[in-house]
Structure 1
Amino acid sequence: MAEKAVYSIDIDIGGTFTDGFFTDGGEVRTEKVITTPHDITECFMNCVAAGCAAFGVDLAEFLRRTAVVRVSTTVGTNLLVQRAGPKLGLLVTAGCEESLYGADRAAILDRYIPAKMVAGVDEQVDDRGAVLREVDEAAVLGKVRELIRSGARMIVTSFRNAWRNPHNERRVRALILARYPVHYLRSVPLQLGTEIAHVADDHARTNSAVLNAYIHGDLARALYRAEDKLREAGYERPLLVVHASGGTARVAKTVALQTLQSGPAVAAQGAAYLATLLGERKVIEADMGGTSFDLAIIVDGRAAFNGAPMLDDISVAVPMIETESLGAGGGSIARVDGGVLRVGPRSAGSAPGPACYGKGGMEPTVTDANLVLGYLDPESFLGGRMRLDVAAARRVIERRICRPLGLSIEEAAFDIRECIDGSMAEETRKRLLRKGLAPADMAFFPVGGGGAVHACAIATRAGIERIVAFPFGSVFSAFGGSTTNVQHIYLRTVSIRAAMAQQVEAILPALREQALLDMQGEGFSPAEITFSGQCVARRGDHRRVVELPAGGRKHAAARVIAAEAKGATIESVRLVATAAVAHWTPIASRLQRRAPVAAPRATRSVYWERGHTRPTPIYDRDALTKGQVIRGPAIVEGPDTSYAIAPNWLLKIDRYGNFIVGLSSAGPATI
């Protein structure tokens, strides 16, 4: 009897769509469902059910035979964008209530915590960790009582130099728990800065603790509900949550802040995986969804990593894969401002969505423009599960754009597309030039539901000559999640001369011990865990990352530091613990010498130039075979996205089923 398939499920909950990447180890199914922002467990389970149906398996049986479920989500990001988190109270060292240990007034104040909800505590720990002044019980409890009376639903404590010695922070926690025990209805949740980010930067640590507390409650409730729904449906393993660092962990082991920007981050990780597979040394990956356009650069198979990122111009101390975001997507709203057409950053999201969705949207969006111009088929959107309303799209464009600017509907739609393409191309080009990279040297990976529709237009304007699009590109963050392993990262800030390398090495065993405990909580044995280590060495203004052996061999790390960081100061030590889980590997096929000529299934008029349509062949993506070549202009339609191949561009399907697109004037050799 043949062995039963073991499935993996990867889901990305975006602002407009929830995407699924499902595999049995060989075959892949992709699904898109509308996000339900009022309750993300609804769209989460809708997506799981869609994947189950795609394999033709009963849901309970499907989940029983599933090895892993991973999810990335925008819940935390949405709470920040909408300012929808709870009212917080913050305790800081007296005298730092305005700056929160920074140089100026803290940017986080009155965005995520009212300035009046910050209270100073008379305490002191010096730069070496000595407690010079203990907290006073009556004073602390008095300040906590005032914060609670003012509406605080959680207390955050973050003191100066607590990374050296968290004694006073922990004393505050003990006092609060004694006065407000957890079994009382009036108990007060609290978080300590040193438990969220154990770093020397007091300002970034405090910001991290505040933002984490701001999103913690709603995110925890949403993820635990999703896990409960899975269990009720028959899944017996823990739900894994994708982190912006490129790893995953179970819900109980996830810090809320780690989930921010997790979708774009793992899309970058997925791009790095495919860049290595395809031999692409320099890649810019662009994820165009319903609300944002996220960019990541991959060089030699690695995405850049940022240990001190900025979120909404606020410095935080949580490691993330480096991405940059622009408010541009299919749901970006077009408007006339002072006689000038502008598109984005405001988005229609999934509710009400673009006017053509028929859900009450009354403002024109990029998706409405693409529909009017012929890039989208109203009958086959989402595989025919959702019919788009062309008349509604035309009405809102006519009312909001044509009348003020004196344009025809088609001219207005074309200008909307030109405007958004110009913004995305400019951002792409600027990002490359800032990194010292020439656009002509890059491969462009357009992903997300809108990436392939706009790829040729963006590439042309940005000066990029090679595009690689994927059959699962519209659910690329979900695919990126499928490349992740269970991972925990441990960071310690230090200030140790490299000559004292053994002091640095002495930090690693404690980090390994914590990692083993956390991984045991994830369900892994020591034999299943691999470790990697790094330290940051500084000489003057120059910083260098030094890879450290972290396998536990005595003096191994010290020898590396002594050899590679001689004369430097070690600023931080990082340990990464990883345990592998199920992954899908793309399967290559031998290309036929003479692939059959691709046959279009239809022809329709598409506006490729302002004021002019061209009869354009329409191809069914699932009917194409590896090795086939298609000359633009052409539209290739899949159940989850469309690929717009502009005039003078040429598409060839490679041995993995990817679309390699290059300028046809340069000939097939360029692709």
Structure 2
Amino acid sequence: MGTLINIDNGGTLTDICVWDGGAFTFTKTLTTPHDLSECLFSGIEKASTALYGAADTTRLLHATEHIRYSTTQGTNALVQRRGPMIGILTTLDTLDTRMQNTAAEEKLFTGLVADRFLTIDPEAEDFDFDAVQRVNRLTTLGAARVVIAAGSADEERRLRHILLRKFPRHLLGSVPLLYSWELAGDRDDARRVWSCVVNAFLHPTMERFLYGAERRLQDYKVVNPLLVYRNDGASSRVAKSVALKTYSSGPRGGLEGTAAMAKVYGLSHALMMDIGGTTTDVGVVEDGSVAVSDRGAIEGVQISYPMSDVSSAGVGGSSVIQVIDGNITVGPQSVGAAPGPACFGFGGKQATITDVNLLLGVLDADTYLDGTFTLDASRSRAVITETIAAPLGISLEEALIRMEHAYFQALSASFAHLVGDGTTLLAFGGAGPMSATGAARLAGVKKVLVPRTAAVFSAFGISFSDIGKTYEVLIDEPSAAAARATHGALLARAERDMFQEGYALADCQTTWQLLVENPDDATVSQLPYEPGDEVDYPGAVVSLRLNAAAPLPHPNLEADVPMSPLAAPAQGTRAVRSTADRIDDVTVHVLDELSPGHTGAGPAIIEGPFFTARVLPDWSFRVTAAGDLMLTDNH
């Protein structure tokens, strides 16, 4: 098999994980917001250096069978409201009211749609004229994209015929029109239109970047197309991907990696904590399975597609720590990679936990990102003094301790409600291992697993994905005949789409399900389906779902077996502040110099590949057979 490159592009750092069929090689690079393809290719170049001893991007790309790419850019764009203004034209009465039943829906509606919402009477005598006038009005109000929503697909096709004739696509002034029934065959109007609104908002950002990256790959004469990793755990080529499915795709990679680790370590309840630059993503793997909702939610707003149950909190390595009304707060604002934390030296003027850990002594200014980047402590000192210590009237040392505690509390609050008996916390992301034991203790978690690949774990998790498609079509009048006809139509679509991905459907794994939704409580039952099965569910909304996957090779992880304990060798000590008036000499270990079975106790610092793990007092650690870190709270 060829090499597989997995990339997870975050707001602050971009992770690259290369699997050659036998071993992983990984690296990190700073995200370049001005041109995201720049960090993508600089990361691939760094990976080639790690593989071959010298940079050779062309050699690595030509040895690669697939590049699977996940990005938080859509997620970050939505959080920061960086995208086009969306308009809605609908024939549905009270749709705006139904789309704003909750505070979360009201907030998102205000941010994406606002007053750009107009209705039209489908029975009006001048329907054609009214439709044109309303689209013109929406564009005058600032809409850059317009969602067309009607009560049926036929009614939307009528509007499409009118608007395509009046606004030909070849005209420069034409505005992209998106039809809700084309995106989702969901009978719930509000949910379907919300899916279309969010997709319309994300589409330009994702399209611009992904096609730009694909064009740069073509400059290297790469034959296989760039694959986009999706939030359903599968990948597909750029031209066959829906922008909505890129939302929260990175956390899904983390969940897939968590599921793989949970099986190896026999964890019945694994809780992932992925701390990136902007957010902390939390999800649960129970008995080795990723928890998935049939109707996912984005910022608390339900959509028509399934999504993994991941919650995101605005707490990351680049989250702004500031004083508001006399209290230290953490996030949700983030300095990202540009300007980044003050210690990056790119002009950042706001304090972050990265600055705090540098001044506490947890981070070594000269070994950050494996020594490829030097941190500036003087800038951190100046920013924290100005924005935290001075406003509170306290010393810099006291400010650092309070900021650290506020950060631990914010992290703990993001997952404490999911903790149960026997929960093991998997801590990863660039900042995860550094803060895991502090947050875990506050949440009552006694075991923390830090993978050796923690710094690039979401990219690592993408290694367990296949190339796949998911289809879901509403059966308007449920019957065995209607279901069979829908089955035939989906089969034809899947054959065409998988062929365009480079695979015959006959060589793919396929599963069919009937989704039976109870309109009273919106619960969904999933039932296996075979052509000819009876479909008789009075009063229910019935859909047919097809999952088609072309399997790719997956890594085999090393099992955790008992090892004879040995005292972990230390590289030296580091002066780390534990209170405002106390500094301790803390033992420093280097993970690459430790072997399976090595053990130690806190306080300690373990320098891993591109991450720093902190072992607080009363915690112990052991290196597992696979080279991961298992931390235990003995308090």
TM-score of the aligned structures, taking structure 2 as reference length: 0.93
Match of 1:630 in 2: 600
Match of 1:62 in 2: 60
Residues 505 and 654 of structure 1: CA distance in aligned 2, closer, same or farther (over 3 Å)? farther
Match of 2:197 in 1: 210
Is the contact made by 1:87 and 1:151 (CA closer than 8 Å) also made in structure 2? yes
Match of 2:630 in 1: 660
1:143 aligned to 121, 134, 137, which one? 134
Is the contact made by 2:441 and 2:633 (CA closer than 8 Å) also made in structure 1? no
2:86 aligned to 88, 95, 101, which one? 88
Find the aligned partners of 1:280 and 1:272 in 2 and give their Cα distance.
Answer: 9
Q: Indicate the SS of the match to 2:97.
A: coil
Q: Indicate the SS of the match to 1:20.
A: strand
Q: CA deviation at 1:646?
A: 1.3
Are 1:24 and 2:20 counterparts? yes
Is the contact made by 1:89 and 1:156 (CA closer than 8 Å) also made in structure 2? yes
Is the contact made by 1:158 and 1:209 (CA closer than 8 Å) also made in structure 2? no
Match of 1:130 in 2: none
Is the contact made by 2:431 and 2:611 (CA closer than 8 Å) also made in structure 1? yes
Residues 227 and 427 of structure 1: CA distance in aligned 2, closer, same or farther (over 3 Å)? same
* AA in 2 matched with 1:276: K
Find the aligned partners of 1:203 and 1:220 in 2 and give their Cα distance.
Answer: 25
Q: Indicate the SS of the match to 1:236.
A: coil
1:518 aligned to 497, 501, 509, which one? 497
Is the contact made by 1:620 and 1:638 (CA closer than 8 Å) also made in structure 2? yes
Is the contact made by 2:264 and 2:559 (CA closer than 8 Å) also made in structure 1? no
* AA in 2 matched with 1:450: A
Are 1:410 and 2:389 counterparts? no
Are 1:548 and 2:528 counterparts? yes
Are 1:575 and 2:546 counterparts? yes
Match of 1:338 in 2: 325
1:445 aligned to 420, 423, 426, which one? 426
Q: Indicate the SS of the match to 1:489.
A: strand
Match of 2:169 in 1: 182
* AA in 2 matched with 1:41: S
* AA in 2 matched with 1:421: F
Match of 2:370 in 1: 383
Q: Indicate the SS of the match to 1:111.
A: helix
Match of 1:474 in 2: 455
Residues 223 and 362 of structure 1: CA distance in aligned 2, closer, same or farther (over 3 Å)? same
Find the aligned partners of 1:413 and 1:241 in 2 and give their Cα distance.
Answer: 40
Is the contact made by 2:95 and 2:190 (CA closer than 8 Å) also made in structure 1? no
2:35 aligned to 39, 63, 74, which one? 39
Match of 1:246 in 2: 233
Are 1:462 and 2:460 counterparts? no
2:242 aligned to 255, 270, 277, which one? 255
**Worse-superposed segment, 540-549 or 212-221:** 540-549
Q: Indicate the SS of the match to 1:344.
A: strand
Matches within 5 A, 1:343-362: 343-362=330-349
Residues 151 and 458 of structure 1: CA distance in aligned 2, closer, same or farther (over 3 Å)? closer
Is the contact made by 2:563 and 2:625 (CA closer than 8 Å) also made in structure 1? no
Alignment deviations for residues 227-270 of structure 1 (CA, whole Å, 9 cap, x no partner) = 11122124210111111111111100111111111111221122
Match of 2:150 in 1: 159
Residues 147 and 263 of structure 1: CA distance in aligned 2, closer, same or farther (over 3 Å)? same
Matches within 5 A, 1:364-403: 364-403=351-390
Q: CA deviation at 1:184?
A: 3.0
Are 1:645 and 2:615 counterparts? yes
**Worse-superposed segment, 98-107 or 28-37:** 98-107
Match of 2:556 in 1: 585
Find the aligned partners of 1:344 and 1:320 in 2 and give their Cα distance.
Answer: 25
Find the aligned partners of 2:261 and 2:92 in 1 and give their Cα distance.
Answer: 51
* AA in 1 matched with 2:68: R
Q: CA deviation at 1:202?
A: 0.4
Find the aligned partners of 2:276 and 2:495 in 1 and give their Cα distance.
Answer: 38
Match of 1:533 in 2: 512
Q: CA RMSD in A?
A: 2.6
Are 1:12 and 2:11 counterparts? no
Find the aligned partners of 2:126 and 2:456 in 1 and give their Cα distance.
Answer: 51
Alignment deviations for residues 15-57 of structure 1 (CA, whole Å, 9 cap, x no partner) = 1111111121122122111111121111111111111111016
* AA in 1 matched with 2:121: D
Residues 319 and 505 of structure 1: CA distance in aligned 2, closer, same or farther (over 3 Å)? same
Find the aligned partners of 1:112 and 1:418 in 2 and give their Cα distance.
Answer: 35
Match of 1:614 in 2: 584
Match of 2:114 in 1: 114
Is the contact made by 1:135 and 1:168 (CA closer than 8 Å) also made in structure 2? no
Q: How many pairs were matched up?
A: 630
Match of 1:601 in 2: 571
Find the aligned partners of 2:308 and 2:51 in 1 and give their Cα distance.
Answer: 33
Find the aligned partners of 1:592 and 1:316 in 2 and give their Cα distance.
Answer: 47
Match of 2:270 in 1: 283
**Worse-superposed segment, 90-99 or 43-52:** 90-99
Q: Indicate the SS of the match to 1:479.
A: helix
Q: CA deviation at 1:378?
A: 0.6
Find the aligned partners of 1:494 and 1:391 in 2 and give their Cα distance.
Answer: 64
Q: Indicate the SS of the match to 2:622.
A: strand
What is the aligned-residue identity percentage? Answer: 32
Alignment deviations for residues 443-466 of structure 1 (CA, whole Å, 9 cap, x no partner) = 110111111111111111111111
Q: CA deviation at 1:567?
A: 8.8
Q: Indicate the SS of the match to 1:143.
A: helix
1:71 aligned to 50, 69, 72, which one? 69
Alignment deviations for residues 295-317 of structure 1 (CA, whole Å, 9 cap, x no partner) = 10110111111232332343322
Q: CA deviation at 1:593?
A: 4.2
Q: CA deviation at 1:148?
A: 3.7
Find the aligned partners of 2:396 and 2:249 in 1 and give their Cα distance.
Answer: 38
Find the aligned partners of 1:298 and 1:47 in 2 and give their Cα distance.
Answer: 30
Q: CA deviation at 1:100?
A: 5.7
Residues 253 and 542 of structure 1: CA distance in aligned 2, closer, same or farther (over 3 Å)? closer
Find the aligned partners of 1:626 and 1:460 in 2 and give their Cα distance.
Answer: 25
Residues 86 and 530 of structure 1: CA distance in aligned 2, closer, same or farther (over 3 Å)? same
Gaps of 5+ in 1: 125-132, 433-437, 666-671
Alignment deviations for residues 642-666 of structure 1 (CA, whole Å, 9 cap, x no partner) = 011111111111111111111346x
Q: CA deviation at 1:569?
A: 4.3
Is the contact made by 2:92 and 2:150 (CA closer than 8 Å) also made in structure 1? no
Find the aligned partners of 1:101 and 1:331 in 2 and give their Cα distance.
Answer: 33
* AA in 1 matched with 2:510: F
Find the aligned partners of 1:567 and 1:269 in 2 and give their Cα distance.
Answer: 37
Q: CA deviation at 1:424?
A: 1.4
Gaps of 5+ in 2: none
Find the aligned partners of 1:662 and 1:103 in 2 and give their Cα distance.
Answer: 44
Find the aligned partners of 2:131 and 2:440 in 1 and give their Cα distance.
Answer: 58
Find the aligned partners of 2:408 and 2:306 in 1 and give their Cα distance.
Answer: 31
Find the aligned partners of 1:650 and 1:104 in 2 and give their Cα distance.
Answer: 45
* AA in 2 matched with 1:463: G
Q: Indicate the SS of the match to 2:369.
A: helix
Match of 1:129 in 2: none
Find the aligned partners of 1:32 and 1:651 in 2 and give their Cα distance.
Answer: 25
Alignment deviations for residues 136-186 of structure 1 (CA, whole Å, 9 cap, x no partner) = 3232223223334444433321112x2xxx112122222222233333333
Is the contact made by 1:604 and 1:615 (CA closer than 8 Å) also made in structure 2? yes
Residues 622 and 586 of structure 1: CA distance in aligned 2, closer, same or farther (over 3 Å)? same
**Worse-superposed segment, 608-617 or 568-577:** 568-577
Q: Indicate the SS of the match to 1:238.
A: coil
Q: CA deviation at 1:490?
A: 1.5
Is the contact made by 1:246 and 1:320 (CA closer than 8 Å) also made in structure 2? no
Q: Indicate the SS of the match to 1:478.
A: helix
